[in-house]
Structures are given as C-alpha cells and as structure tokens.
Amino acid sequence: MMGYGYSPALSEGALKPPLFQTSTFAFRSAEEGKAFFELAYGLREKKQGEEIGLIYSRINNPNLEVLEDRLAIWDNAAASLVFASGMAAIATSMLAYLRPGDVFIFSEPVYGGTEYLVHKILPEFGVHGVGFMAEGGSAGLWAAAEEAKRRAAESGGKVGAIYLETPANPTNGLVDISAAREASHSLGGIGGAQGGIRPSVMVDNTFLGPLWQTPLDLGADLTITSLTKYVGGHSDLIAGSVSGSDPFIAPVRVMRTILGTMSDPHTGWLLMRSLETLKLRMEAAAAGARQVAAFLRSHERVKSVWFLDFLPKTHPDRELFERQCKSAGSTFAFEIEGGEAEAFRFLNALKVFKLAVSLGGTESLASHPAAMTHSDVPPESRARLGITDALVRVSVGVEAPADLCADLDQALAAIG
C-alpha cells in the first residue's frame, strides 16, 4: 500500500506526494479537455488504456486519487471514494440508490447521525426504512426484508438498499453480512421500478475497518468508513470513504461530483500520512483494549462489558464473530452500577481518558452514549436498543494499558 499509486519521478523526486492545493487543472488542448469531460460525465465508454485526466478538484485531485487507490487496497475493492465526513459518505450513498417511494432495510442500533438521517431526513423525501435488531441471528433481517417487500409493493417504489452497521455503535451488536447478501438477491425485482436489480448491501465498517473486517469479501457491495476514526487516527481531521466494485460505486461517484461532498486535498494528504501507521496503531490499540476490558470485567462496580472477545461460546453471535471479524477491535461499551448520576461521576473523575465523543485516535476516549452520541434517539428506543443511562463507551488508544486501568479504577472508586 505505502508505495502504491505514486512515483517520486512524477513530482521532482519528492519522496512523498506533495500537496496539490489547487481548484482547477490546465488542459494541454481543447480536445483533451473535451475528452476528460466526456469520461467524467459518462458521455461515452473509456477506450482501452484510457484514464480520465485531471479537471477540477470537485471531480478529481492527485492527493485524493492516490489516497483512494490505497484505500481500495485495504478494503480489497476495485475503487474507493473519499468524502468530507463519514456522514457525507453515508448520505451520498443513500441518495445515490434511493428515490421517493423507495424502501430500505437497516440494522439497529446505528450511529446517532445515521439514526437522524434514517428517521428524520429521508422520510421527508418519501424514502422510508424498515429496521431490525443487530443481535440475535438473522431472523430479524428476513422479517424486515418481507416487510420492505410489502411496503415497496404498496408504494410502487423499490427496495433500494440494505444498510448495516456491524459491529453496531455503541453495543457491538453483529449482523451477518452474507445473510444480508442473500436477502438482497431474494429482493431483486421487488417493486414497480426495480427492474430486476437487487438492493445494494452497504456496510458501515467504522468500528473494525479496514484492518479487522473486510465486508466486501463477506458479500457487501459497498463498504463505508468514517476515516476520521482509525484511518485518520490522530483526532485532527474529518473524512469518510466508500469502497466497492465499479458497477456499485459508479452511482455514488456521480452523486458525489454533483453534491460536492468530496474531501479536500489537505485532508487527503494527512490521511496518506496516517495510512502508513494504521496497522501499527490498530494492533496496539486492540491489544490494550483487551487488557482494559479484562480489568473492567473483574471490577465489582461494573455490571457488564460488551467486548466481542468475551462472547460466550453458547452466544448466538459467537460463531458469526469468529467467521466475520478478525479482532474485537478497541472500541466497546460497559455498564456500571447505577444510572446517569453515577456514570457522570465516573466520567468526570477520569484523568488519562479524555471525555469526548469519536473513537479510533491515539488517545483513549470515554463518552456517555445516551446523553451524547445517541441523545436524539427517543428514550423508548434507547431502552429497546440497550443504550441505558449506565452505559459508558470507551475507545482505547495507544497509552500504556496499566495506566488506563489505573485511571478507570480510581474513577470507579469516585462513584461512591
């Protein structure tokens, strides 16, 4: 990955790709400009060996092109697109595949921003979702598929997408990606406008990707990642990505160009820097998280620890975890004894952990999902999804695990 897509000979021998901080690019001739735009807007097919040239940084930019080539390697994809944020990646993908009257299927829980998009924004455009619980096997997925089929038939639209967040934020609930692919094939041709095309399977891979899970190898059509998290890894940028095969990523590419939701060159340059240490950082964080989770599981003030490595052999998700995931990662939640007041006393007493949302940085973070990232979720839905007032989510960074455990110990003692 580290040398892919760039040669120092292209830029005066610069070892690393320079920052191409420009809005537009000069054509060598009017004929060349015409040819580039024909490809950019899909006015004709590429000739053998032909590639689209640089036009305008809303369409393409050298920094983003090299970054996207390298992200595609990580995701085992034909192509990747970079966006201004994870939510820009999610929203653009949804808009590329859904039209008024369409229905989509989604797993629950999902990140709070996605929750708002699904329940508040998309319905305003005549697009409605059918949700199912992430945990407990695939029965909920198949029931949601049947309900989506019925609704699409009533509305005259199509079942346009199956959207999964696995592991789920903040519960680490798992969804079987291969089962979602089967459901997608079963829904091909459902609805008046389907035309025999099956729904795209989109997977938010932020919690484990790209090191610990490869959704495209498991049956997904599109992998969506908040690059802000592990890929950026230093809590100093906002970005997202979508990876997939050429046919499935093509509509997303067009929508990104027109909406202007791509990332900027400087962010792309920073992400290329971070990609070079991605494996080192994620491995260190995962190893530390296991020690932290083990400490919490043994603490008398902790009721439960939702760490995937701790799934009992008899748990219905254990086999799925071993088949689908390469690690439990380094972000998980746990419940303390008490409620919001006790959780807040605990969070306010932390010294090494920083009290902040987000995850996947080099520093360890702690947050209260019910009051923060999922505060817009109705209380009755939070209760149904297991997002209680006693739930705390942590993202373990690369600090010494012994220091993190000591910090958690003193903060738990401060609960009283």
Q: What is the pLDDT of residues 258-308, one digit of tens each?
A: 999 999 999 999 999 999 999 999 999 999 999 999 999 999 999 999 999
Average pLDDT of the chain to the nearest whole number: 94
Closest CA to 91 of 114, 68, 59, 108: 114
CA atoms lying within 13 Å on the CB side of residue 367: 19
Distance between CA 2 and CA 44 in Å, rounded? Answer: 33
Q: Residue 47: is it exposed, middle or buried by C-beta count within 10 angstroms (0-12/13-18/19+)?
A: exposed
Name the helix (H) or strand (E) containing 202.
strand 200-204
pLDDT of residue 51: 84
pLDDT of residue 194: 42
pLDDT of residue 195: 47
pLDDT of residue 153: 92
Q: How far separated are the first and last CA of the chain, in Å rounded?
A: 50
What's 22's DSSP letter? -
Residues 240 and 31 sit within 8 Å (Cβ to Cβ): no
Residues 228 and 358 sit within 8 Å (Cβ to Cβ): yes
pLDDT of residue 192: 40
Q: What is the pLDDT of residues 214-231, one digit of tens each?
A: 999 999 999 999 999 999
Q: What are the domain boundaries of the chain?
A: 60-275, 278-413
Helix (H), strand (E) counts: the chain = 13, 12
Q: Which distant-in-sequence residues (6+ apart) come within 8 Å of 375 by Cβ?
A: 112
Sequential pLDDT tens for the chain (416 residues): 988 999 999 899 999 999 999 999 999 999 999 999 998 888 888 899 888 899 999 999 999 999 999 999 999 999 999 999 999 999 999 999 999 999 999 999 999 999 999 999 999 999 999 999 998 779 999 999 999 999 999 999 999 999 999 999 999 999 999 999 999 999 985 544 444 589 999 999 999 989 999 999 999 999 999 999 999 999 999 999 999 999 999 999 999 999 999 999 999 999 999 999 999 999 999 999 999 999 999 999 999 999 999 999 999 899 999 999 999 999 999 999 999 999 999 999 999 999 999 999 999 999 999 999 898 888 998 888 889 999 999 999 999 999 999 999 999 999 97
CA atoms lying within 13 Å on the CB side of residue 267: 20
DSSP string, 59-71: T--HHHHHHHHHH
pLDDT of residue 316: 87
Q: Which distant-in-sequence residues (6+ apart) come within 8 Å of 245 by Cβ?
A: 77, 78, 79, 216, 221
Is CATH 3.40.640.10 the classification given to domain 278-413? no
Distance between CA 108 and CA 133 in Å, rounded? Answer: 5
Helix axis angle, 177-186 relative to 139-155, nearest 10°? 30
Neighbours of 146 (CB within 10 A): 13
CATH number of 60-275: 3.40.640.10
Distance between CA 99 and CA 101 in Å, rounded? Answer: 6
Structure tokens at 2: 């580290």
pLDDT of residue 377: 86
Which residue in this structure is represented by tokens 């599109």? 222
Distance between CA 220 and CA 320 in Å, rounded? Answer: 15
Sign of CA dihedral 386, 391, 395, 399: negative
Distance between CA 171 and CA 193 in Å, rounded? Answer: 36
